[in-house]
Amino acid sequence: MSEPTKKPANFIADIIEADLKAGKHDVIITRFPPEPNGYPHIGHAQSVWLNFELADAFGGQTNLRFDDTNPETEDIEYVNAIKRDIKWLGYEWERELYASDYFEQLYQWAVQLIKDGKAYVDDLNEEEIRAYRGTVTEPGKASPYRNRSVEENLDLFARMKAGEFGDGEKVLRAKIDMAHVNMKMRDPLMYRIRHAHHYRHGDNWCLYPMYDWAHGQSDAIEGITHSICTLEFENNRELYDWFVDNLGIEKPPHQYEFARLNLEYTITSKRKLLRLVNEGKVAGWDDPRMPTLSAQRRRGVTPEAIRAFARKVGVTRVNGRIDLGVFEHAIRDDLNFRAPRVMAVLKPLKVVITNYPEDQVEWLEAPYWPHDVPNEGSRTVPFSRELLIEQDDFMEDPPKKFFRLAPGREVRLRYGYFITCDEVINNDDGQVIELRCSYDPATKGGDAPDGRSPKGTLHWVSATHSVPAEVRLYDRLFASPTPDEGEEDFITHLNPESLVVLKNARVEPSVLDDPADTRYQFERQGYFWRDPEDSSEDALVFNRIISLRDSWAKRAKQPAPPRSSSKPKPENTRNQSQERRDPVAELSAVEKARFDHLNQRFDLQDEEAVVLAREPKFADLFLEAVAAHDNPQALANWTVHELRAATSEPSALPFGGAALGQLVALIDANTISTRIAKDVFEEMLNTGEAPEAIVEKRGLKQVSDADVLVPVVEEILDRFPDKVAQYRDGKTGLIGFFMGQLMRETKGQADPGLAKSLLQAKLGA
């Protein structure tokens, strides 16, 4: 693992630490226990992360155990998918185990319980058993077969195993208490008959253990010390404990539950995901819109991003839904530092530069990285008479705020020249098919000697040199944040625009030199990589991994359509904006009062004020933070997006609002950059230390002292005399290259604004 091994900040880690201190265990053993009946998804990743990281942090071990007790739905295909995906996430299990290998031992244990008078064969059918169980408010009643003799039970159970009875004819039940307050304890099923083929044991068995009978004992057999599962099994714990207790198993494992990960706009039920596959709503388990790990991998998301997301979400005991923005943020954060910037035009419009010589081609220097990413490197891009720009970057009759190309208007072509649109050529339908422009030869590299600067900068490619590509724009699979809540079938919430395929895109030729798994930022478009299945050298296919910004958040900010209580909701809600709800209107009276109060005191974004109004604990923390440092906008942002992603329970944080205020104060004083602040924040979550102390200890201070930076600048210019000459020759795009060097030298700590002006000053000299 690239992350440092340190104690994760969660309650299970605290328990483990205490257990170790108390000498309860020598070695911590956890396990990830999937049922091989589907492909692992992002929720499983959370559980994988938790089990492996916890054991790792305490020098322990993690096993992979397949809970494969149900022959009908399990398959080796899923076993292989699970193994592949865990490895891809970056984890190595200690042992590979199968609950089905314990079938014989479990059978012997069942016989033991029968002999002890603690289990019996029941002839009631499924429906009767349910009816006899009672309800939460009424006790159940005993089955007429409950008092069969031990001998009869042993005989019947042996004959069940031998295949004498049909499916569902008889079951084995534990004899506990039909009036128990915990419904799980009302004589739960241990075995049922299924004449079915098991993917590992063939037709050896027709008697299959229930999950509840197998699960706890499997953990016990393997010496699991901390058996971690999701909250829906909280009530089962008592039953697991009863089984191991009554079997006399020593050192039984203890179970700890945490809240399942639920993500907005996503479903994580394997059954429902299977339906999407079977009904052809997606192209398969690895369709890049699916929440499965195989799909995310194909889409281009990295395992590092998934682990960062898991860490960010952390562990709580409170069920809720995580804002999809948290996941997308983790993906962007990861790609920002690994994806070189290149240019691609997704919907091309031809531009002819009429005053550019017919046969001339210039290969212009273009840095791969923006100034704030401390990576280096550049490529050249061909500039020629015929170019392509994005159709959306031109308007014949532009509104006021449109700063891109329009008749008579000048724009900058990134790393190229300034061009002015002189003539628009339309086809018979009035569609714009070509622009005739002129360029200013004095603006090579994107700067004018007279200092003029057009408002718009466009990406572009050379029409003759660019490479054709198909581009697949993936978006959220569902249009509703909670597709599986409510009355309707979740299928009705599919987002009709979750996949848009563009067949005529063009990419700059430099990509042909790169390894096939390179992830790019197509400038102004988003992050992309080649589809690992469908892309080939002569037919490129790019998947959009993620857009640059959250376009959905923007949409949500648009004023909601007027709400009328008398008119029924329109039937057809294909249009996203119609479907978005107005969050302010949905606040309760108390929440609305809080919302108004916050708005009166501070000028906050509605979106953030709504969250604070709904979640008073976070609002309190925010107020504490503002008291420590007066920047309510930034603090609301941190509270809503970072703190809430870290925990759902602010009182569980190892620091208070004042510390958050201090952190933002460090940014505002230019002591650290926002990016460094995120690292500091991570460490605050882990250690509870004050931001100042972390910055000091780890030497993270941003350097905004010119006296410190000037020698570094000079040293870099000395080192690259050729590049300096090229810059002075007009290749001012090289500024990115120099910034990259400077950031590297200063380990990303140079104040970017100051660094750039120092570089420009020295380079201009």
**In DSSP terms, which residues pair with 171 in a beta bridge?**
122, 192
36 or 140: CB nearest ligand ATP: 36
How many CB atoms sit inside 10 A of residue 303's CB? 18
Q: Pick the catalytic residue from 3, 17, 35, 234.
A: 35
The whole-angstrom separation of Cα 364 and Cα 366 is: 6
- Respond yes or no: is residue 385 known to be catalytic: no
Tokens of 326: 């948290």
- Using CB under 6 A, list all residues that contact ligand ATP: 33-35, 37, 43-44, 46-47, 229-230, 260-261, 268, 270
In angstroms, give the least distance from the CB of 470 to ligand ATP: 33
Determine the angle formed by the axes of helices 706-719 and 752-764, rounding to 10 degrees: 50
**In DSSP terms, which residues pair with 457 in a beta bridge?**
412
In angstroms, give the least distance from the CB of 578 to ligand ATP: 30
* Nearest in space to 510 (alpha carbons), one of 366, 625, 705, 626: 366
- Respond yes or no: is residue 260 known to be catalytic: yes
What are the CB-based long-range contacts (under 8 Å, 24+) for 429-434? 432/349, 432/391, 432/394, 432/396, 433/349, 433/350, 434/349, 434/350, 434/351, 434/352
In angstroms, give the least distance from the CB of 208 to ligand ATP: 16
268 or 443: CB nearest ligand ATP: 268
In angstroms, give the least distance from the CB of 42 to ligand ATP: 7
- Respond yes or no: is residue 87 known to be catalytic: no
Task: Determine the 3-state secondary structure of 369 from DSSP.
Answer: coil
In angstroms, give the least distance from the CB of 275 to ligand ATP: 13
The whole-angstrom separation of Cα 346 and Cα 739 is: 29
Q: Pick the catalytic residue from 133, 184, 194, 260.
A: 260
Residue entry with tokens 């950031």? 743
∠331-335-336 over CA atoms, to 5°? 115
∠232-235-240 over CA atoms, to 5°? 110
Residue type at 435 in one-letter notation: L
Q: Pick the catalytic residue from 270, 409, 412, 519.
A: 270
- Name the residue number minimizing CB distance to ligand ATP: 43
Element (H, E) at 392: none
The whole-angstrom separation of Cα 351 and Cα 433 is: 9
What are the CB-based long-range contacts (under 8 Å, 24+) for 100-104? 100/66, 100/68, 100/69, 100/198, 100/200, 100/201, 102/214, 102/217, 102/218, 102/221, 103/201, 103/205, 103/209
Q: What are phi and psi of 492, to 5 degrees?
A: -70, -15
> What would you measure as the largest C-alpha separation in the chain, in angstroms?
102
Residues recognised as catalytic: 35, 260, 270
